[in-house]
Chain A
Amino acid sequence: MPSRREFVQSGMALAALAACTLPAEGALRALEGRRAERRRLFKVLFDRHTAEGRSFGAEAFGLGLPACAVDSDVGSVWMHEIEPQWRRAPEAIAGLTRGAPLFCLELLARDYGMGLVHRVRHVRDADGNVRHTSTLNRSLSPGWEATLAAAGRSWAVAAAGLAISCEASALRDGDLVDLSLQSESGETALYSWSMAPVAGIRPLVGN
């Protein structure tokens, strides 16, 4: 029986699903292999204010993952859902959000033995094309750029597949998201990302 909070969050996800654009068939096929590899994710956060965020959330929701719409303030989902779970047992999360909420989560995650395994910046240039740039000091899974490029306007769906299916263990990484880049084009950048337990690190906060 879902709790009231879980029910509300599911309602958000359904509303987002109704509002999002359907992904291209080609992009979906390209992701099929990755879906089979996806690991357990405790939570998938998506930006409620953008079509790309909602597409990302819909893709996660369609894969049976607990998707949760967020805005710039991730305080509530942190306090009531992520932190209690990480205090019990750190589990991976992923998302497509703006830089500021990601910055907060990255900083908070460190005390729970969590780190980034995936972070790609998505920003629309003056011609309307979306540029995808890895901003993590480690190699992402091979072919991520080609996957996003092939997805075209459905890049958010492809980004969900990549973030959901990436590695299950993080390295310690001191680099936080570079917020000075977040509105370079005059439009807020989005980041697809995934966090996982850092190999061999005990959380500072936990039971």
Chain B
Amino acid sequence: MQQPPPRIRAADFNTAVRRITDVVGRDWVFTTNDDVALYRDAYSPKWGEPDELVASAAVAPISVEDVQAIVRIANEYQLPLYPISTGRNLTYGGSAPSYSGSVVVDLKRMNRILEVSERDQTCLVEPGVSYFDMYRYLRQNTIRLWIDTADPGWGGLVGNALDRGGGYTATDFRDHFDAHCGMEVVLPSGEVVRTGMGANPKSKTWQTFKYGMGPWVDGIFSQSNYGIVTKMGFWLMEEPEAALQVSVNVPRRGDIVPLLDTLTSLMNGHVIHSQMQVMSPIMNGSPDPELVRLRLAGESASDEQWARHASGRKQPFWVATFAYYGAPKVIAAQWEHTRDRLAAMSGAQFSETARYTFPLSDEQVESVPDKARFGIPSLNLFGSRNAPGARPSEGHLDFSPILAPRGEELLAMGDVTARVYGDLGMTPPFLGGWMYHPRAMISFQPVPTFKNAGDNRRTRELFERLMAACAERGWTEYRIHSYFQAAAMETYGFGNGALHRLHETLKDAIDPNGILSPGRYDIWPRHLRGTRA
């Protein structure tokens, strides 16, 4: 048996667990060390240290009624609960709670695909439905709709959307929270609410019209701890007739500025619909001393020095990758227009890397290299988890600041973060920008984690310094590992932390006993403020 949560008497903890067992059955309550250890964060930056975030127990309900009963019992004992959907979320905390001693509410048994409407191009799912489940369902039933999958695809639609994950297909679907329409939530009181049109029991538009009437409250259930989402609707993408995956290469470091300006203009003009990412093969090459010196020199390294470094390497300085979806004639026109808009960039090269006509056969699906871009879930990301020459790590955290989608910003981000790595005697990682959202860019950097405290201490120092250096420039994270959520929230400190105070005001109103996910995104219940356990 695990230790009870802090401030909870062992007798109360045992009574609460026994009563929860009466609700869900003995098979679905987990209290042994071996069972609870399965909920540890495999990538934890505190692995094995006394303050690693760990659960005290876990419970796996199968129905909304089970969830209601669990939260009502938890309220009686101020028992902290930590709901997870499929519980992957590696790099951002995995299935470990944000407050040690919490009881994980594992929702994987609630894994029904409740409805798929081909006519409306929508679905309604429970939190245990994974991208794999949904994709397989659509294929097996010959439903010509696409999911927009997270990468890797083992996560769940509900959990990923609630943590505001992103995908790779068309604009309306990539922002997974934005692509949801309607939810059912068990509040900390045990009451069930349905948002938007779901509040009208006779409505046929719960999954097609988001707002209903009055304040649109769905947003407060993302990256928060105000309720347990037990159903969620999503918009699905109609399978296009065809798709064309392309890349645009440009030869000089400074080309990133007009390249991004033009591509974002095309995205906002609805010419390019897919996720777009830009990487630098020159800056991401196997680390050689000259490359490291230039990266660490930051702004003082001139374009001429970079040009000399790039010369003879027979690689473009930047490569942008994206795709078009639709009728072949429309795709051809969009691609032609894109090339026209970029034609003024000297040395720009345009490549068609893949062309598909849908539906794909099973064999064709297997051969698609960039599966997520075509709504196909995979685990391919794990094949490239260690950069060439890098010291192998046990896992990593994603450092994920949001930038304006401008070349100047991306270059500055590379310089600022390289300096942080250099100050710690480390080699800067790759530099790239990912546009899940048409008007913002995320510049991911993987920060390695290990299974020993010494290396992880350096990891945490690196991560904290990256956060601080980037915050100075206005680049703050869109999502972050549980361990760093408090520090990240401080960077959203306008008005002496007014936003954070509002979050906690809501917490006090909705969850006065503070039972749901204490500390998640630094939202603490009143009785635990100023503490971390």
- Asked if A and B bind, the verdict is yes
Question: Which A positions have Cβ atoms within 8 angstroms of B?
Answer: 4-5, 8, 71-76, 78-80, 83-84, 98, 100-101, 103-104, 107-108, 110-111, 171-174, 176, 178-184, 202, 204-205
CB within 8 A of B383: which of A72, A178, A204? A72
Nearest CB of A to B518, in Å: 24
> B484-505 toward A: CB 8 Å interface, digit per residue (1/0)?
0000000000000000000000
Name the residue on A nearest B88 (C-beta).
A107
Given A73-B383, A202-B28, 10 other A-B residues pairs in contact with their CB atoms under 8 A: A79-B136, A80-B136, A100-B383, A110-B38, A179-B385, A180-B392, A180-B451, A183-B392, A202-B27, A205-B128
* B362 lies within 8 A of A5 (CB): yes
Nearest CB of A to B72, in Å: 23
Binds A, one of B74-82, B104-112, B160-168: B104-112
Which residues on the A side are within 8 Å of B378 (C-beta)?
73, 75-76
* B382 lies within 8 A of A103 (CB): yes
Which interface residue of B35, B88, B379 has the most chain A CB atoms within 10 A? B379
* A205 lies within 8 A of B392 (CB): no
* A72 lies within 8 A of B108 (CB): no
Cα-based distance from A72 to B154 in the complex (angstroms): 15
Cα-based distance from A73 to B381 in the complex (angstroms): 8
* B393 lies within 8 A of A180 (CB): yes
* A78 lies within 8 A of B392 (CB): no
* B394 lies within 8 A of A73 (CB): no
CB within 8 A of A72: which of B366, B380, B393, B395? B380
Within 8 A of A (CB), among B43-92: 60, 88
Nearest CB of B to A107, in Å: 7
Does B135 count as interface, using CB distance less than 8 angstroms? yes
* A71 lies within 8 A of B383 (CB): yes
* A179 lies within 8 A of B60 (CB): no
Does B115 count as interface, using CB distance less than 8 angstroms? no
Name the residue on A nearest B35 (C-beta).
A172
* B135 lies within 8 A of A100 (CB): no
A-B contact pairs, 17 of them (CB 8 A): A72-B382, A73-B378, A75-B153, A76-B365, A76-B378, A78-B379, A101-B379, A101-B382, A104-B382, A110-B38, A174-B37, A178-B394, A179-B393, A180-B394, A183-B386, A183-B392, A204-B109
Cα-based distance from A183 to B394 in the complex (angstroms): 11
* B377 lies within 8 A of A79 (CB): yes
> B17-40 toward A: CB 8 Å interface, digit per residue (1/0)?
000000000011000101101101
The 10 A-B residue pairs with the shortest CB-CB distance in the complex, in nearest-first order:
A72-B383, A174-B37, A75-B378, A172-B34, A73-B380, A75-B379, A100-B382, A79-B132, A180-B394, A202-B27
* B380 lies within 8 A of A75 (CB): yes
* A204 lies within 8 A of B106 (CB): yes
Does B42 count as interface, using CB distance less than 8 angstroms? yes
Does B152 count as interface, using CB distance less than 8 angstroms? yes
Within 8 A of A (CB), among B146-192: 152-154
Nearest CB of B to A112, in Å: 10
Name the residue on B nearest A110 (C-beta).
B38
> B469-496 toward A: CB 8 Å interface, digit per residue (1/0)?
0000000000000000000000000000
Cα-based distance from A72 to B384 in the complex (angstroms): 8
A174-B34, A204-B106 known; A74 vs B379 contact (CB < 8 Å):
yes
Cα-based distance from A79 to B149 in the complex (angstroms): 14
Name the residue on B nearest A171 (C-beta).
B34
Name the residue on A nearest B149 (C-beta).
A75
Name the residue on B nearest A98 (C-beta).
B383
Does B288 count as interface, using CB distance less than 8 angstroms? no
Which residues on the A side are within 8 Å of B393 (C-beta)?
179-180
A72-B380, A75-B380, A180-B394 known; A104 vs B154 contact (CB < 8 Å):
yes
Within 8 A of A (CB), among B87-132: 88, 106, 108-109, 111, 128, 132
Which residues on the A side are within 8 Å of B152 (C-beta)?
75, 104
* A182 lies within 8 A of B111 (CB): no
Name the residue on B nearest A182 (C-beta).
B392
Nearest CB of B to A196, in Å: 16
Name the residue on B nearest A102 (C-beta).
B382
Does B304 count as interface, using CB distance less than 8 angstroms? no
Which residues on the A side are within 8 Å of B38 (C-beta)?
110, 172, 174
* A8 lies within 8 A of B363 (CB): yes
* B379 lies within 8 A of A111 (CB): no
Which residues on the A side are within 8 Å of B451 (C-beta)?
178, 180
Cα-based distance from A103 to B382 in the complex (angstroms): 9
Does B524 count as interface, using CB distance less than 8 angstroms? no
* B108 lies within 8 A of A75 (CB): no
CB within 8 A of B379: which of A8, A80, A104, A172? A104
Nearest CB of A to B160, in Å: 16
Cα-based distance from A133 to B42 in the complex (angstroms): 22
Which interface residue of A80, A103, A179, A204 has the most chain B CB atoms within 10 A? A204
Which residues on the B side are within 8 Å of A80 (C-beta)?
136
Cα-based distance from A74 to B471 in the complex (angstroms): 38
Which residues on the B side are within 8 Å of A74 (C-beta)?
379
Cα-based distance from A78 to B380 in the complex (angstroms): 12
Name the residue on A nearest B448 (C-beta).
A180
* A4 lies within 8 A of B362 (CB): yes
Nearest CB of A to B519, in Å: 23
Within 8 A of A (CB), among B417-475: 450-451
> B360-383 toward A: CB 8 Å interface, digit per residue (1/0)?
001101100001000001111011
* B395 lies within 8 A of A179 (CB): yes
* B394 lies within 8 A of A205 (CB): no
